[in-house]
A and B are shown apart, each in its own frame.
Chain A
Amino acid sequence: MTTVTTNGSTAGMNSHGMPERSIIGILVRTAGLAVAVAVLVWAWHSAEMNPGQLVQDAGNMATLGKDFLRPDFTEWEFYAAGILETFAIAIWGTLLAVIFGIPLALLASANIAPAWVTFPVRRFMDMLRAINELVFALIFIAAVGLGPFAGVLALFIHTTGVIAKLFSEAVEAIDPGPVEGIRGTGATKLQEIVYGVIPQVLPLWISFALYRFESNVRSATVIGIVGGGGIGMTFNETMRSFQYPQAAAILVIVVVAVSLLDIISQRIRAKFI
């Protein structure tokens, strides 16, 4: 579609000095369009797209929908414990990531560390970030067993990569002047960082850490579904035993909890920026 639109506008642009349509140009565009269509067709089959199934299984969908529309909160205390566990996973996953992310961030900043340090540290951070927390969760479940601790470790490892990257970008954007002022007094490198760098980046760091905490609460929910503890695990159990009204109740609790958290966290972040 895009190709056609471009063609049309190109023709219209002739008076503005755009080149005339050549035969080669038309051939190239047609070939491009053909490739795009081929990719879409291949992906359709590969993903086993089957809208018919939605109609065919309309009965199932109706049952599911009906059950989901009547959330059952009888066991709300159980779900509340689950969401609290999810928060706990996110709190420790984020805190550990901040603790380990700060030294990594400083070592990855070009204005703090020499290139032979920043390069390997950045590649290491890329590695942590490249692998999704869900994958880490599966790995840690294999290592330490099902449960919230595996979730904490998964969030910690992935978030360390993200936090280190965000923190390091803040460090690289600081004003070098105050750091030189500190250096001029005969301070050590560590003191330059403590007095010259950290005060400049602290508001941003706090804001980034809170933001990551918010998104880690969402991630912890999903990690629970694969066995990393918390409300996600409870949700998975209710789904697998076809307790849809209970599953709906859990979803409502998750949405309310996450929205509340977002609102609170936004208020706090606004104070620091």
Chain B
Amino acid sequence: MSYALSIDGITKAYGTVRAVSEINLRIAPGERVALIGASGSGKSTLIRLSSGLLTADSGEVKVFGDAIQSGGKLTRDARRIRRRIGLIFQKFNLVNRLSVTTNVLVGALGRVSPLRGTFGFYCRADRDAAYSALEQVGIEKHAHKRAEALSGGQQQRAAIARTLVQRARIVIADEPIASLDPKSARRVMDLLSELNRTQGITLLVSLHQVDYARAYFDRIVAMRGGEIVFDGPAAKLTPDFLTELYGASAEELILPGQFEAAQAPHTPMRMENPAELARALN
């Protein structure tokens, strides 16, 4: 059986600093995997390596059995393989000045002929697919607005709609909720796990907050200093174990109470204390 994502001995250094070091990771189709770690632990680098946005110094990344990069170079098929990967970013990465519909239709680019795609001649079926994707994520009312007119949560949902139009089989998300308020964050995470349940889309999501990882994911991969230090069921990741893994920096990962706050009806936060504010924004 071929894995949805299989990473073999991947290493990436920036100058003399090893961002990720000899990483091996296998994710089966339909799995829900959260990647956690403090800033600088290498999780962002690993996410970018997995999607082929970054080339490694050595090692291989395969997506559903086909290599997207190998030995430090993207393969010939990289562009074709990318179509199977839906990418979600912390900053949404929509094109602000284009309409939401156009942004979502971009998902069809890998499918339609290069000429049609370049000039924006999408067929009826693609337009219908875009609309139903927008419906599915619940922002069809904003289809004709510019992407920049949407709130952060809505923009992230538009980005998810783009991966739906793309018919991605795996969604790789880099801190998808880090720029969102708790209510929007929950909505985005609910949507992602719904896609996993109903359509069998594999999820690899990097997260800052362990509480979200535990609530939404079966399997958690924890990184520190460019290496995987934990890979197992979410239940095994107790606060004590986290402290053991990360020492003092565990506090940054846990952020107690944030998840409970997210479940409560959203109320605007008022923070007079600058230290508290800084922590909340972290």
> A-side interface residues toward B, CB under 8 Å?
177-178, 180-188, 190-191, 194-196, 199-200, 202-203
Contacts and interface: CB of A to CB of B under 8 A. Distances in A.
Nearest to B79: A186
A190 B53 CA distance: 17
Given A191-B109, A191-B118, A194-B118, A184 B98 contact: no
A272 to B, nearest CB: 11
B129 to A, nearest CB: 13
Interface of chain A: mostly helix, strand, loop or mixed: helix
Interface stretch (B81-89, B130-138, B250-258): B81-89
20 contacts: A177-B91, A177-B93, A178-B94, A178-B95, A178-B96, A180-B89, A181-B89, A184-B86, A184-B87, A185-B108, A186-B82, A186-B166, A187-B79, A188-B109, A188-B114, A195-B106, A195-B109, A196-B95, A199-B97, A203-B97
B89 A177 contact: yes
A184 B92 CA distance: 12
Given A190-B118, A200-B97, A181 B87 contact: yes
Nearest to B166: A185
Contacts of A200: 95-97
Question: Sorted from nearest, which 4 A-B pairs have the closest CB atoms?
Answer: A186-B110, A181-B93, A184-B87, A186-B83
Of A186, A191, A196, the most chain B CB neighbours within 10 A belong to A186
B18 interface: no
Contacts of B51: 184
Contacts of A196: 95
Interface string B113-154: 010011000000000000000000000000000000000000
A199 B98 contact: yes
Size band of the B side of the interface?
20 to 34
Contacts of B102: 195
Nearest to B91: A177
A23 to B, nearest CB: 49
Given A182-B106, A185-B106, A186-B166, 16 more contacts: A177-B89, A178-B93, A181-B94, A182-B109, A184-B51, A184-B86, A184-B87, A185-B108, A185-B109, A186-B79, A188-B114, A191-B117, A194-B118, A199-B95, A200-B96, A202-B97
B106 A187 contact: yes
A182 B114 contact: no
B107 interface: yes
A199 B98 CA distance: 7
Nearest to A196: B95
A186 B106 CA distance: 9
A188 B95 CA distance: 16
Nearest to A178: B95
A184 B89 CA distance: 11
A225 B122 CA distance: 52
A203 B146 CA distance: 15
A25 B86 CA distance: 68
B167 to A, nearest CB: 11
Nearest to B159: A181
A185 B110 contact: yes
Contacts of B107: 185
B26 interface: no
A178 B114 CA distance: 19
A185 B171 CA distance: 11
Given A187-B109, A191-B109, A191-B118, A182 B95 contact: yes
B265 to A, nearest CB: 32
Of B102, B114, B118, B166, the most chain A CB neighbours within 10 A belong to B118
Of B87, B91, B92, B95, the most chain A CB neighbours within 10 A belong to B95
Contacts of A177: 89, 91-93
Given A177-B93, A178-B95, A195-B98, A184 B118 contact: no
A187 B98 contact: no
B266 interface: no
A98 B92 CA distance: 32
B197 interface: no
Contacts of A202: 97
Nearest to B147: A178
Interface in B65-88: 79-83, 85-87
